[in-house]
Amino acid sequence: MTGIVAVSHSAKLAESVLELAMEMGRDHLKVASAGGVDDPENPIGTDAMKIFEAIEKVYSDDGVLVFMDMGSAIMSTELALDFFDEERRSNIHLCEAPFVEGIVAATALAATGAGIEEIIEEARFSVRGKASQLGVDYAAIYGGGSTGADAESGDKAIGKEFTLKNTMGLHARPAARLVAAIAQAGANVRVRNLSKGSAYVSGRSMNSLLSLNAQQHDVVELLFPESGSEALMAEIAEMFQSNFGESTAPAPRRRPSLEKEAGTNLPENGLLTGLPISPGYAVGPVVKRTMSLPDVEEQNADDPQAEQQLLEDALEKAAEEIETIKRQSIAEIGEEDAAIFDAQILLLRDPELLSGVEERIIQGKTAASAWRSGLNDVVSLYQNIGENTLLSTRMIDLIDVGIRVLENITGIRYSAATPDQPSILCMNDISPSDAASLEPDKVLAICCESGSDVSHSAIIARSLGIPTIFNIGKIMHKIPEGEMAAVNAETGELFVNPDQAVLARIATERERWLEVKQKAHLSRKEKGQTGCGTRLRVLANVGNEHEINQVLDLGAEGVGLFRTEFLFMERTKVPDEQEQFEAYKLAAKALGKKRPLTIRTLDVGGDKPVPYLHIEGEENPFLGRRGIRYCLDERDLFKTQLRAILRASAYGHIEIMFPMIANIGELEAAFQLLDEAAAELDAQNQKYDKDLKKGIMVEVPAAVENLKEILPLVDFVSIGTNDLSQYVMAADRTNAAVSGLASYYQPAVLRVIERVIRMANESGTDVSMCGEMARDTLVSPLLVAWGLRKYSMSAAGIPEFKYMARKIHQERFADLSGAIAGCTSPDEVRETLRRFAAS
C-alpha cells in the first residue's frame, strides 16, 4: 500500500492535516508527519532527518508520496532523499499538489489500494472542487480543465457535476443504481461531494458512495474516463435529472431525540415512551436481544487460499439467503419495499470492503477475523461521519449482512430475534432481515432503544402488522428479562411491570384488536358483500406474476390492477414480446377463466423513470410525459406490449386498462394501436380474446369532465384515487409540505369521486377503485352508499376489508350521504364517518 508523508514547517499543521485525511480514509493506512524542528523557542522549520525517518516509517515498494507545504520544505525533502539508495529512492515521489486537498484526496484513494500514479493524479486534481465552488475557471488557470488521469485506461477523465434534488439525497437506492450502472459499464468512475469538500471515492463502492453523506441540494462530481463513457454519462445524467424517480419535496425536519440519552433508573410508574411505528396492543413477558457485530478472535491461518474460498462461499450463500428473504417479503411488504434487500446484496459485493478483507487473508488471517475487521473499518467510517438518520440505517443494513456472512463462515448462530414463546421483544435495534423473519405468533410487540420511522425495519414491521415502538432510549437495558410489560403502540407507550388497571385496559384493547384480525383472516375467502347482502367484488393490486397465488390465499377474487412496470425495471433493455407474453400468460393461467386479470399498460415517466428508456427529467414529472402520453410517443414499444397482452388473453380472463387518459383523442389513439396489434396477430394466425374488455384509469380531472363522451367507448373505468386526489387539489402527494391537501377525505375530491361512480352506474359501465382509498374501511360505507361495487387493493388489506364490509347496512345510506355532503373539511369528513361507524 502506498505510504503518505506530510512535510510542513509546523508540526501541528502536518499532524492536523493527516488527522483530517484519516477521517476520510482508513485506520490501516501508512501515513506519517514530519513537521517543525526540535527547537522549543523556534519550532517553525523543516528537518531533513525527520523527513527521512517519516519516509522510512511508511516505506513500501508500492511507493511513498510526499507532500510539502512550501519553500524550504521542498529543499529539506530533497536532501532527505539522498539518504536512500537509488532503488528505494525511485519509489519515493514528491507531489506538487495543494497540501491539504492533495493529502486528503491521496489518502482516500490510497485506502482503496490504488496505484501510485493514480494517487498522484488524484492529488493534483484535488483543487478543482474548490475552484468550482468559488466560480474560478480551473481550465484557464491550471490548464487541462476538468480532466485528470483515469486509473484503468490512462486516458483523460471528464468531470461532471450534478445537484441532488431528491428528498433523501444519495441514499441506498440511488447509490445502488449508480453502482450497478458503473459496474455494468466496467468503468472507473470516481465520485465526491463538492458541497462537503470530500475526497474522491470509487463509484463502484456502495459503502463509499453512502459515506459521502450527500444530501438534498448537495453538488456531487463524477469523473468519467474520457474514452467510451458517452453512454454511461448519459445514463447517469438521466438518473440525476429524473431525481432517481423520487420525490423532490423538502427534506422533513428531523424528529427530536431519535437517539435518547441513557438513563439511570426506570421511572417509578414504569412508563417508557417512544416513536409509534406500527399500531396495536400487547401484554406479555419481555425477551431481550442485542444486535451487534459479534467478537471474533484474531487468528492466523495456514492456507490463505482455503480461507479465501471459505469467504467466497459464505458471501454466495448470504446472497442466496437474502434473495430468499426478498422473495418471501414481497407478499408481505410489496415489490418496491422488498427492494431494500437488493441494497443489502450490493453491500455484500462492495469492492472496497472485499479488498480490505482479502488483503488481510493474504497476510495470513482467517476468513472470519478478516471479515470482522473489514466490517469494523466500514462501520467506523459511518460512525465518523456524524449523526445522520439515513446513514445510521445503512450501518444497520451493513451489520445485518455482516453477521449473516460470519454465521456462514463459522457455522455459529449469532442472531436469533424470534423468542421461543409469545413475548414482547426488546432490542437495541432490529435489522431488516431479522424483522422479516419474525414469527408474528411469538412476537407480540417490538420495542427498540433506537430507530427511525423511515428505516427498512420500520417498513417491514408495519407490513407484518406487529405492534412496534422505536426510540425508547438506552434505559431499556434496565428492564429485567422476563418482566411483565404492556404495549400501546398506537401512542408509543411501553409499561414495565404495569399495575392491574393498566394491564386490564391494554388487555381489553388487545382482545378487541385481535378479534378483528382473527375473524378477518378466517373469513378472508368468503365472497365480498355487505351485511345486507349487496355483492362487492374484492380484487388485488399486484406487482408481478409470482404474487398471484399469494393474493388468492388472502381472499382476492381476481386482480384489479396488474402493474407491468416490473418487467421494465432493474434491467438494461426493453423486454421483448415473448418475455412479456410469458409473464402475462403465467398470471392469467393462475387466475383461470373466471377471475379477471386487469393489466395496466406501461405507466412510466419522470416520476417512475427507467434509465434505458431515455425518459427526460422534468421539473414536475406528475404533470409531464407519463403513462399513456409516453406510450403514444413510443409506439413501437407500446405495440409490442399490446401484442403480448393480446396473445396472453387466450389463456385467461384478461382486461386491458390504459393509464392517465385525459381526452378522447388519447383513447382513440390507444385503441387504434390495439387494433393494429390485433391485425398483426390475425395475419400470423395467433389466438387472442376478440372480446377483450378495454378500460381506463380515471385519475386526471379532465377525464372526469370528458367522462360522458368516454363512457360509451369503454367497458369499464377504474378510479385511481392516489393521483386523482393530488390533481384535484393541485398538491403533490409526495411533498410533505402539501401532502395533507392531497387527501381523498377532501370534500372536493369526494364530490369528484361520487360523480364518477354515479355517471358510470347511470351509463351501465363497470366502475371500480384501485387507489389507497379502496382498502380504507372507514370510508367504505360511503362508497357503497354511492354505488361502488368493485374494489382493488393491496392484498394484505383484503381480509379486514371483507370483514368490515359485512358490518355495512344500507338503512342509513341516505343519512350518511347527506351528512358528508354538508362537510367542509377532511377532519369533519373523518369525524362524520367515525360517528356513523360507532352508531
pTM here? 0.55
Q: Is the pLDDT of residue 254 over 50?
A: no
Helices 389-410, 456-464: inter-axial angle, 10-degree rounding: 80
Please check the confidence at residue 758 and state whether its pLDDT lies above 50.
yes
Q: Tell me, what's the pLDDT at 109?
A: 73
Query: Facing residues of 793 across strands?
Result: 540
More confident residue, 689 or 261: 689
According to DSSP, the residues that pair with 35 across neighbouring strands are: 8
Averaged pLDDT, 63-72: 84
Among residues 447, 456, 653, 823, the one annotated as catalytic is 456
Q: How many C-beta atoms surround the C-beta of residue 519 within 10 A?
A: 14
Residue 785 has pLDDT above 60, yes or no: yes
- Second CATH level (architecture) for the domain 1-134: 3-Layer(aba) Sandwich (3.40)
Question: Rounded mean pLDDT of 472-499?
Answer: 86
The residues facing 283 across adjacent strands are 486
Supply the pLDDT for residue 242.
84
Domain regions of the chain by residue span: 1-134, 271-291+417-509, 304-410, 528-838
Report the alpha-carbon distance of residue 530 to residue 536 in Å, rounded. Answer: 7
Q: 770 catalytic, yes or no?
A: yes
Q: Dihedral through CA 57, CA 60, CA 63, CA 64, nearest 10? A: -10
As given in the structure block, the three cell numbers for residue 785 are 352508499
pLDDT level of residue 381 (50, 70, 90 thresholds): low
Which tens digit of pLDDT belongs to each residue from 605-624? 755 556 667 666 566 667 88
H or E element that contains 415: none
pLDDT at 299 > cutoff 70: yes
pLDDT number for residue 689 = 96
**Across 521-525, average pLDDT:** 93
Q: Residues 740, 741, 745, 750: what is their CA dihedral angle, to the nearest 10 degrees?
A: -160
* pLDDT tens string 638-671: 999 999 999 999 999 999 999 999 999 999 999 9
Q: How confident is the model at residue 737 (pLDDT cuts 50, 70, 90)?
A: low
What span, in angstroms and rounded, lies between the C-alpha atoms of 667 and 561? Answer: 19
Mean pLDDT of 355-370: 89
Give buried/exposed letters for 744-776 (b at 16+ CB in 10 A, else e): bbbbebbebbbebbebbeeeebbbbbbbbbbbb
Chain centre distance of CA 573? 22
C-alpha cell at 472: 425508547
Q: Which of 467-476, 640-649, 777-786 has the lowest mean pLDDT?
A: 467-476
Task: Give catalytic status of residue 448 as yes or no.
Answer: no
pLDDT at 149: 41
User: Is 762's pLDDT higher than 90?
Assistant: yes
CATH class, domain 271-291+417-509, is alpha beta
Pairing of strands 219-225, 157-163: antiparallel
**440 exposure class (CB count in 10 Å sphere: 0-12, 13-18, 19+):** exposed
One-letter identity of residue 411: G
Superfamily of domain covering 528-838: Phosphoenolpyruvate-binding domains (3.20.20.60)
Q: In percent, how much of the chain has pLDDT > 70? A: 85
Class of domain 304-410: mainly alpha
Q: How far apart are CA 561 and CA 661, in angstroms?
A: 16
156 has a pLDDT exceeding 90: no
DSSP state of 260: P
Which of the given ranges, 193-202, 427-436, 445-454, 673-682, has the highest pLDDT on average?
A: 673-682
Question: In sequence order, what are the residues at sequence separation of 6 or more whose Cβ sits closer than 8 angstroms to the Cβ of residue 638?
Answer: 601, 602, 631, 632, 673
Lowest mean pLDDT among 432-441, 586-595, 708-717: 432-441
Q: What is the pLDDT of residue 333?
A: 56
pLDDT of res. 445: 93
Q: Which of 310, 309, 338 is nearest to 324 (CA)?
A: 338
Catalytic site residue from 95, 447, 448, 770: 770
Helix crossing, 304-338 with 340-348: angle to 10°? 160
Q: What is the pLDDT of residues 700-736, one digit of tens each?
A: 999 999 999 999 999 999 999 988 998 999 987 655 4
pLDDT at position 771: 72
Q: According to the model, what pLDDT value does residue 127 have?
A: 64
Same fold yes or no, 304-410 and 528-838: no
Q: pLDDT tens digits, residue range 71-89?
A: 678 878 888 888 888 888 8
Which helix (H) or strand (E) segment holds residue 157: the answer is strand 157-163
The cell for 762 is 347511470
49 pLDDT above the threshold of 80: yes
Q: What contacts 24+ positions apart, CB below 8 Å, involve 73-76?
A: 73/7, 73/8, 73/9, 73/46, 75/46, 76/7, 76/46, 76/47, 76/48, 76/51
27/33 Cα distance (integer angstroms):
15
Q: Which of 215, 184, 214 is nearest to 201 (CA)?
A: 214
Looking at residue 713, its pLDDT comes to: 97
Q: Which of residues 11 and 686 earns the better pLDDT score?
A: 686
